[in-house]
Structure 1
């Protein structure tokens, strides 16, 4: 059997590349060969322009090469592309809204696995792309399942609902990453969807350490930050005070104040979490890797958002699954995490996710 993974193809996003790698490893353990389709959306977003615009994009990047961030972005993207080519090659199948699924000569597949990540977030893709993300291209008789697929939204507009109602019932089995995702499937189709773990959590800490390459010096003592939003002044003060108190420098992922760390590739991202003293973040996958490596961490609400009600669905699900609601803060430090309890729950949720996948993959 050959499993064809359909997920977002974002060569600039750490979480996207690492969940794709993790799902590939997860499926390859007893479920046959696995390959990934290169999913090229028709929306003119930066992550796809880099792949689709060819010489025009390259010319624009060269014109901006003297600008430090553009050069660093290009170098980091090259690392992400190299990681993809080495660990999760996606050059045998391509998905586009104008051609559907195309394959290199001789490339075949027997099963389609949709997920994970926000593959069903229709705000990022065209309506035709959404059909492809739901397996519309699969021939009759080819089983299609979703693993930890995410909507990325809490409500669905009428146009998108029509697409979900058309294709979700055709899936052999449906699993999602968030509780709200399961509710959306039920509301739109009446079908049951199972909440499973993000694939990054299905690999062990040792599994992840195996792909690291010595990006972090042995004597490096640091606090790690990774923010998709921007910390408030008070939150930044908390970070600096913690680092000073514990004799740590601050390493900042995707922050131009730290050019050395800005260049980190996906495997370097993993290593940074494995060796840090503490983590400050607002990122879902940063929480996942902090948990895997038993790191104490604080999740800051993004600026101008306060209270637990500001948590997005994936954070809410993760914290409910692992009794970690207390790590979300407007400012300050989260209480100490009980990793004995986290490990117990992780073992339980892994077992359930494994069981769901085994049944879904059964012919």
Structure 2
């Protein structure tokens, strides 16, 4: 029987989308396709904050309090990252062993019939740094069938120069099947790696809403609000966008990324985060996956781009669904833009999504056959 190992950023202790898309892919492979899969528990060195990082965070916090540093909340400031591990323990089976480097995982000689990398920005070398080759499955023997599912480059270009690219291109050529999350990724695969790739949906959109309703379960977060927003670095312009939009609609608003008590910041449980989106009237975010959940729960939304995260990820998806006008491009008042986006014909969106889902499902079915 096929035994499938999955590699992505499931280890994240601050990113809701990372753990939810990982759980969605596992669920689809196991419960829809009927295979046995687990996530290979690769946690690169440096993924967990060190004492030095925590001390730096404390110093920066005091500098911000005195106006000597720009306001920004760092991950090390949060005191309950264990909520992501609690989610993984319930929804994300992982390998018994944990690996922290390319050399360590290569020496493990893992015994899988198939391996899948994806989704998320797993093919963006600057994100993976020294572990980049792990996400090109270079640690596996050649008898393992290698597949990428909805791998993302993050941008509409490949980051590395020609000299550094060869080793990655050689690895991609060993894949049995290649799929990417953005249409621009199809061109990158062809022009940079010399391989054909298929455009597919992110696992969250592939698995569909019912799975996430089951994740939410009986969760009823306190203080549901009309507008929910999800953004890590909240600057003055974004704050004004939220305030103006709330005022225009006479809506309450809620930051669903975290709650705070004094200088202490708390992540919301994953099920509560999903429930907040499902129960809202409008979602404002710079997150790819938060937009995916707004679409799954059929909510009006405004995508507020973040230059560091790459606009290509959302442009590709929203153009295919006829929702590209939900991207705030800075040329109009965001509160007024949000007002014009409240009535989405989700029957039409769902028809387009169903067609894309069929093609994505066929790719994964054929790749694992």
State the TM-score, normalizing by the size of structure 2.
Answer: 0.82
- 1:249: Cα distance to partner? 2.1
- Of residues 36, 39, 62, the one that matches 2:39 is 36
Rate the CA distance shift 1:117–1:282 in 2: closer, same or farther, 3 A: same
In 2: Cα distance, 1:195 partner to 1:240 partner:
38
Kindly report the root-mean-square deviation, in angstroms, between the aligned alpha carbons of the 2 structures: 3.2
The worse-fitting range, judged by mean Cα deviation, of 8-17 and 261-270 is 261-270
Q: Which runs of 5+ in 2 are unaligned?
A: 63-72
Rate the CA distance shift 1:321–1:262 in 2: closer, same or farther, 3 A: farther
Is the Cα contact below 8 Å between 1:93 and 1:103 reproduced in 2? no
In 2: Cα distance, 1:69 partner to 1:138 partner:
35
In 1: Cα distance, 2:93 partner to 2:77 partner:
23
- 1:325: Cα distance to partner? 1.0
Aligned residues: 343
**SS of the residue 1:211 aligns to:** helix
Rate the CA distance shift 1:247–1:36 in 2: closer, same or farther, 3 A: same
In 2: Cα distance, 1:205 partner to 1:275 partner:
14
2:151 match? 149
Rate the CA distance shift 1:217–1:264 in 2: closer, same or farther, 3 A: closer
1:328 match? 327
| Aligned 1:195-234 pairs, distance under 5 A | 195-217=199-221, 220-233=224-237
In 1: Cα distance, 2:294 partner to 2:200 partner:
19
Rate the CA distance shift 1:10–1:159 in 2: closer, same or farther, 3 A: farther
State the TM-score, normalizing by the size of structure 1.
Answer: 0.84
Is 1:339 equivalent to 2:346 in the alignment?
yes
- Of residues 221, 230, 245, the one that matches 1:242 is 245
In 2: Cα distance, 1:163 partner to 1:69 partner:
34
1:9-53 per-residue CA deviation (whole Å, 9 max, x = no partner) reads 3222111111101111111122411100122224x4xxx134xx5
In 1: Cα distance, 2:240 partner to 2:121 partner:
32
Is the Cα contact below 8 Å between 1:93 and 1:102 reproduced in 2? no
1:73 match? 78
Rate the CA distance shift 1:86–1:160 in 2: closer, same or farther, 3 A: farther
2:315 match? 316
In 2: Cα distance, 1:337 partner to 1:148 partner:
26
Rate the CA distance shift 1:37–1:237 in 2: closer, same or farther, 3 A: same
- 1:338: Cα distance to partner? 1.9
1:113-158 per-residue CA deviation (whole Å, 9 max, x = no partner) reads 111111111112235x222211112223111100001122423323
